[in-house]
Amino acid sequence: MNSFWNGKRRFVALLMFLAGVFVALRVPPVIPFIQLPGENFPAGFNVPFTDIRLTNTFVGSVIVWILLLLFVVYVSRRRPKDGNEVPTGGFYYLFEVLFEGLMGFVGGIAGGRHFRLIFNMFMTIFLVVLLANWMELIPGVDTIGFIHAHTKEKYDAQTGEYKVITTDGYEIYQGFLGISYVNGQCDWISPADEAAADQAALVAAEMAALNAEQELEVKAAYARYQAEHDDHSEGDQAEAAGGGHGDDHGEAAGESDQVADAYNEPLAAREAEKSARADRGCYTGVGPAPWADDGAEDAQADDKKRDIPLHPDPRSEEAKLVPWVVLPFVRVPSTDLNMTLTLALISFVMIQYIGFKALGIGYLTKFFNFGTLFKSPLGGIDVAVGLLELIGDFAKILSFSFRLLGNIFAGSILLFVMSFLVPILPWPFFILEFFVGVIQALVFALLTAIFMNLATISHHHDDEHDHADAH
């Protein structure tokens, strides 16, 4: 360990750590738009010779298979040609140790004449799922991609036309070399919502002023009531009448200040909210308020009436009228149900294939066991158990698909959140997801191997074996 960190390696590690701290402090964290299906690439990025739009999870799957192919080429070249030759390369030696360990582990579970087919399937699924799961640990995956305006067209039945509507998203800003960045600190607010918030602040101010006036009137009426029923001498009353004009002016001025303060308080809170957004560099929510500028109300009305662009230029002023999200170039394939469901179907087909290969047509008696229906009082139970096994086999497709999907999708969201909350030191969560990726790949492949081995075992053979033991 000490020799590993000697020389230039420790300085490279220190430099990378300092660079990570600098980027975390200077660049706002990217918050991807989280959705379950894979995102379609913009128009023009289609599958070759088809009209099918490429998705970022499909691109991730292609990268996984390319990496797997390169890995196979590397292993085949590093593999010793002679049995007595010592393996070269530390990585290849590590892989050989893991390969032999997994072979022995699977052999203890699914040994026999079908071991080679079961182990080949186990190792293939394990490597594919492992590489797909580990893709979430690569910087840039799920964070670098197209800047996409989060808008869509909706048909209006009343007018018979399509109108552009917006959803949630963030603001963007132009950075180095004109590259657009999503500003994770600024949620996008539409001009209409901006005007509605200002109008709500005005209504709240007017209501606060009205309530303040009503409270002052109640207090004044109560004071007059006390003055009329106060049992004072006439001299004292005369003195109060003679010196009350100045007090009335003072009380009126104080009441006017109280009403003005009540009116200004909601407006000041709204101004503080807009100023806070301006301090974070947000371009929406900082427009002139209608109570601060005579033309601001007309300007906000104009913004509210402006048409929402469907595909605005990120560098134009129209970019402020729509929310933006990151459409990643590459997304983890295991977070797409298409990928996990495909692997589950392949696993299911291989289970049935090895069952028919080992038992022939008799494999169907596992699910449709009518042989003892009229021969034994328990024949009905055998039929019910077979049907339950049939349902259980199809249920494996769902369990395989959603177990892998749920764990890896939740892990990706965990990395998003922790990288946003703790941008300098999120490494413990990356280490956690490293082992989660290994465990999920091992579980998926191991369950496939176990079910394939169970498919080669005949229930009829077990029954005959039990009868022979009884005799």
What would the pLDDT profile of 195-244 be if each residue is shown by its tens digit?
A: 888 888 888 888 988 888 888 888 888 787 788 776 554 545 545 444 45
Strand partners for 324: 149, 170
Q: What pLDDT, on a 0 to 100 scale, did the predictor assign at position 151?
A: 81
- Helices 337-359 and 427-455 cross at an angle (nearest 10°) of 30
Q: pLDDT tens digits, residue range 262-295?
A: 888 888 888 888 888 888 778 776 666 666 655 4
pLDDT tens-digit readout, 151-195? 877 877 777 777 777 788 888 888 777 778 788 778 888 877 888
User: pLDDT per residue over 63-115, tens digit each?
Assistant: 999 999 999 998 888 887 776 666 666 788 888 889 889 999 998 888 788 89
pLDDT at 471: 42
The two structure tokens encoding residue 242: 């003679």
- CA–CA dist 213, 198 (Å, integer): 23
Q: Which residues contact 242 (CB under 8 A, 6 or more apart)?
A: none
The top-scoring range by mean pLDDT among 17-31, 175-189, 245-259, 261-275 is: 261-275
Using CB atoms within 10 A of its CB, is residue 318 exposed (0-12), middle (13-18) or buried (19+)? middle
- Looking at residue 34, its pLDDT comes to 80
Distance, C-alpha 81 to centroid of its chain: 47
Q: Is the pLDDT of residue 1 over 80?
A: no
- Range picked from 353-367, 378-392, 406-420, 433-447 for highest mean pLDDT: 433-447
When pLDDT is cut at 50, 70 and 90, the band that residue 435 belongs to is very high
- Give the model's pLDDT for residue 400: 92
Beta bridge partners of 170: 187, 324
- C-alpha 77/C-alpha 119 separation (Å) is 22
Local structure of 64: helix, strand or coil:
helix
First vs last Cα of the chain: how many Å apart?
A: 64
pLDDT at 331: 92
Residue 312's pLDDT is 81
Distance, CA of 72 to CA of 393 (rounded, Å): 32
Provide mean pLDDT across the span 119-141.
92
The stretch 15-26 carries a mean pLDDT of 76
The mean pLDDT value of the chain amounts to 79
- Classify residue 32 as exposed, middle or buried by CB count within 10 Å of its CB (0-12, 13-18, 19+): buried
User: What is the number of other CB atoms lying within 10 angstroms of the CB of residue 205?
Assistant: 20
Which of 122, 82, 77, 80 is closest to 99 using CA atoms?
122
Q: Which pair of tokens denotes residue 186?
A: 């600024």
Q: b/e for 81-92, b at 16 or more Cβ within 10 A?
A: eeeeeeeeeeeb
Stronger pLDDT, 444 or 316, i.e. the higher one? 444
Among 32-46, 278-292, 456-470, the range scoring the smallest mean pLDDT is 456-470
From residue 116, how far is each of 295, 333, 447 by CA, in Å? Answer: 80, 28, 16
Give me the pLDDT at residue 7, please: 62
What are the residue boundaries of the structural domains of the chain, listed by start? 1-26, 31-143+331-470, 191-326
Query: Greater confidence, 439 or 261?
Result: 439
The owner of tokens 């196979």 is 72
339-342 own/partner pairs: CB under 8 Å, 24+ apart: 339/57, 339/61, 339/132, 340/400, 340/401, 340/402, 340/404, 340/405, 341/397, 341/401
Statement: residue 308 has pLDDT above 90: no
Query: Which tokens belong to 29?
Result: 């964290």
Backbone Cα Rg of the chain: 36
Question: Is the pTM value of this prediction over 0.85?
Answer: no
Place of tokens 């797997």: 68
What is the length of the chain? 471
